[in-house]
Amino acid sequence: MTGPAARLAAIATACLAVMGAVPALAADTVKIGILWPLTGNAAAAGQASKAAAEVAADIVNDAHPDLGNLPLAKTAGLPNMGGARLELVFVDHQGSPSVAQQQALRLITQEKVDVLFGAYQSSCSFTATAVAERQGIPFMVGESAAANITGRGFKWVFRGTPIASDYAATYMRFFDDMKKRGKTIGSIAVVNENTDYGTSVADAIEAAAKKNGIPVAIRIPYSASSTDVSAQVLQLKEKQPDVVIFISYTADAILYIKTMRNLEYMPPMVIGDDTGFSDPSFIPAVADIAQGVMNRSAWDIGKPGSATYLINEMYKKKTSRDLDDTSARNMQSFFALADALNRAGAKDPEKIRVALSQTDLKPDQLMMGYEGVKFDSTGQNVLAATYLIQLHGKKYDLVWPDRAAEAQLQWPMKGWK
Partner 1 sequence: MKTGTLVLAVALLAYPFVLYDHFYWDIGVGLLLAAISASAWNIVGGYAGQVSVGHAMFFGIGAYVPLLVFNLWQLPPIAGAPLAVALSLVLAVVIGLPTFRLRGHYFSMATIAVAELIRIFIGTWDFVGAAIGLQGPAVGRGWWDLTFRSELPYYYIFLVVLAVLLYVTRAVEKSRFGYYLRAIKAGERAARSLGVPVQQTKLKALLLSAVFTSIAGSLYSIKTGFIDPESGFGILISVQMVIVAALGGAGTLYGPLVGALILVPAQTATNTWFGGGGSGLTYILYGGIILVLARFEPGGLHELWQRLAPRLRRTPRAA
Stretch that binds partner 1, among 45-53, 227-235, 335-343, 384-392 (CB under 8 A): 45-53
Q: Is 371 in the site for partner 1 (CB under 8 A)?
A: no
Q: Is 249 in the site for partner 1 (CB under 8 A)?
A: no
Determine which residue in the list 6, 12, 39, 82 makes contact with partner 1, applying CB under 8 A.
39
Q: Which residues contact 398 (CB under 8 A, 6 or more apart)?
A: 300, 387, 388, 389, 404, 405, 406, 407
Are 355 and 344 in contact by the 8 Å Cβ rule? The answer is yes
Q: For residue 89, list its beta bridge partners.
A: 33
Q: Which residues contact 197 (CB under 8 A, 6 or more apart)?
A: 145, 247, 275
Nearest approach, Cβ of residue 414 and partner 1 (Å): 35
Nearest approach, Cβ of residue 254 and partner 1 (Å): 22
Measured over all CA atoms, what is the biggest interatomic distance in the chain, rounded to whole angstroms? 92
Q: Is 3 in the site for partner 1 (CB under 8 A)?
A: no
Are 139 and 128 in contact by the 8 Å Cβ rule? The answer is yes
Q: In sequence order, what E strands does 276-382 have? A: 294-297
Nearer to partner 1 by Cβ, of 103 and 248: the residue is: 103
Write phi, then psi, for 197 (nearest 5 degrees): -65, -55
Q: Is 43 in the site for partner 1 (CB under 8 A)?
A: yes
Nearer to partner 1 by Cβ, of 34 and 399: the residue is: 34
Nearest approach, Cβ of residue 113 and partner 1 (Å): 12
CA distance 10 to 175: 73
Nearer to partner 1 by Cβ, of 141 and 409: the residue is: 141
Q: Is 313 in the site for partner 1 (CB under 8 A)?
A: no
CA distance 164 to 237: 27
Q: Is 362 in the site for partner 1 (CB under 8 A)?
A: no
Determine which residue in the list 13, 69, 184, 195 makes contact with partner 1, applying CB under 8 A.
195
What are the CA-CA distances from residue 271 to residues 159, 392, 405 (Å)?
26, 14, 17
The sign of the CA dihedral 71, 76, 78, 80 is: negative
Nearer to partner 1 by Cβ, of 193 and 274: the residue is: 193
Q: Which of residues 200-239 bind partner 1 (CB under 8 A)?
A: 200
Residue 194 burial by Cβ neighbours in a 10 Å radius (0-12, 13-18, 19+): middle
Q: Which residues contact 106 (CB under 8 A, 6 or more apart)?
A: 91
Q: Which of residues 111-170 bind partner 1 (CB under 8 A)?
A: 122-123, 126-127, 130, 133-135, 146, 148, 152-154
Nearest approach, Cβ of residue 104 and partner 1 (Å): 10
Nearer to partner 1 by Cβ, of 135 and 259: the residue is: 135
Q: Which of residues 48-107 bind partner 1 (CB under 8 A)?
A: 50, 89-92, 94-99, 101-103, 105-106
Q: Is 365 in the site for partner 1 (CB under 8 A)?
A: no
Nearer to partner 1 by Cβ, of 38 and 72: the residue is: 38
Terminus-to-terminus CA distance in the chain, angstroms? 87
Burial of 166-191, coded b for 16+ CB within 10 Å and e otherwise, reads bbbbbbbbbbeebeeeebebebbbbb
Nearer to partner 1 by Cβ, of 306 and 319: the residue is: 319
Laid out side by side, the sheet with 188-193 consists of 216-222, 188-193, 243-247, 269-272, 294-297, 387-392, 395-400
Determine which residue in the list 62, 66, 176, 196 makes contact with partner 1, applying CB under 8 A.
196
Q: Is 377 in the site for partner 1 (CB under 8 A)?
A: no
CA distance 301 to 368: 10
Are 86 and 29 in contact by the 8 Å Cβ rule? The answer is yes
Q: Is 199 in the site for partner 1 (CB under 8 A)?
A: yes
Applying CB under 8 A, the site for partner 1 has a residue count of 42
Q: Is 46 in the site for partner 1 (CB under 8 A)?
A: yes
Nearest approach, Cβ of residue 319 and partner 1 (Å): 13
The sign of the CA dihedral 122, 128, 132, 133 is: positive
Nearer to partner 1 by Cβ, of 38 and 331: the residue is: 38
Nearest approach, Cβ of residue 198 and partner 1 (Å): 9
Contacts with partner 1, residue ranges (CB under 8 A): 38-39, 43, 46-47, 50, 89-92, 94-99, 101-103, 105-106, 108-110, 122-123, 126-127, 130, 133-135, 146, 148, 152-154, 194-196, 199-200
